[in-house]
Amino acid sequence: MDLGIRGRRALVCAASRGLGLGCARALAEAGVDLVMNARGAAALEAAAQAIRDDFGVQVTAVAADITTPEGRAAVTAAADQVDILVTNAGGPPPGMWSDWSRDDFIRALDANMLTPIALMQWALPGMIDRRWGRVVNITSQSVKSPIPALGLSNSARAGLTGFVAGTSRQVAPQGVTINNLLPGIHATDRAIQLDRGVAQAEGITLAEAAARRAATIPVRRYGTAEEFGATCAFLCSVHAGFIVGQNISLDGGAFVGTI
């Protein structure tokens, strides 16, 4: 299927590996020029060069922490006008409800709620002027089905979800769509990090921890960054203009609900 977005320009945040990279590669395959971001310059430049080599699109790599005002200023200065925005950042650490301080919550809110909101506030006016735009926020399955140890993530992402629910309806008349993609367990460094925590806590091997988690997913495996990226690219396509304000689970059926 031709996604109809060849020659468009996208900013994909937190994209040197994992789900962000999956989105960047799928958009590049559809002919979209990219601005990519992550903190680590070497891995980011390697990912950017691989995309240039594989898909022949223009890629600008900006090494910066997207959760800081300085980082966002560097990224948005390089990105200038974009037609497509994919927001993403690392997830907060797991822990216990009783341990988190106000500062812990502020950090989580900054990273996983206020950063995507600031990026939307930056990108939306141009999209509205040009009467076309696509925003995809990478959130989490924890929005629909909270993960107890990830209370910081549950809290911050719930706030972002509320913002998108209203704002997506305000910008839809101007041809701009905003949707959230909710990853379940995917085979990325983040998932391995969480498996390692379980393995240590329960005195089992990493492979056993991963096998236990995979067994909880109806498809009996972790998702891939390629599958995730393909869904993101579709949401950014010309075919997805009627999909507005949705929270789309990519979780292999893990969330059990009729709707």
Binding site for ligand NAP (CB under 6 A): 14-20, 37-40, 43, 65-67, 88-91, 138, 140-141, 183, 185-186, 188-191
Question: Cβ 102 to ligand NAP, closest distance in Å?
Answer: 20
The least distance separating ligand NAP from the CB of residue 113, rounded to whole angstroms, comes to 11
Alpha-carbon distances of 188 from 28, 51, 181, 191, rounded to whole Å: 20, 18, 16, 5
- Cβ-based neighbour number of residue 2 at 10 Å: 10
DSSP letter string, 113-161: IIHHHHHHHHHHHHHHHHT-EEEEEE--GGGTS--GGGHHHHHHHHHHH
End-to-end alpha carbon distance in the chain? 28
Query: What is the closest distance, in whole angstroms, from the C-beta atom of residue 114 to ligand NAP in the complex?
Result: 12
CB of 91 to ligand NAP, least distance (A): 2
What b-and-e string marks burial along 134-168, b requiring 16 or more CB atoms within 10 Å of the CB? bbbbbbbbbbbbbeebbbbbbbbbeebbebbeebb
- In order of 106, 147, 173, the CA distances from 185 in angstroms are 25, 12, 34
Q: Which is nearer to ligand NAP, 150 or 171 (CB)?
A: 150
Shortest distance (Å) from residue 95 CB to ligand NAP: 14
Contact between 90 and 15 under an 8 Å Cβ cutoff? The reply is no
Question: From the CB of residue 209, how many other CB atoms can be counted at a distance below 10 Å?
Answer: 20
Q: What is the C-alpha to C-alpha distance for residues 152 and 160, in angstroms, rounded to an integer?
A: 13
Nearer to ligand NAP, 171 or 181 (CB): 181
Q: Of 52 and 190, which CB lies nearer to ligand NAP in the complex structure?
A: 190
Which residue's CB is nearer to ligand NAP, number 214 or number 243?
214
Toward ligand NAP, which CB reaches closer, 15 or 35? 15
Residue 77 C-beta: closest distance to ligand NAP, Å = 15
20 vs 133, which CB is nearer to ligand NAP?
A: 20
- Whichever of 112 and 167 has its CB closer to ligand NAP, that residue is 112
Least distance to ligand NAP, CB of residue 17, Å: 4
> Do 215 and 182 touch, CB atoms closer than 8 A?
no
Q: Given strand 247-250, what is the order of strands in its sheet?
A: 59-63, 33-38, 9-12, 84-87, 133-138, 176-183, 247-250
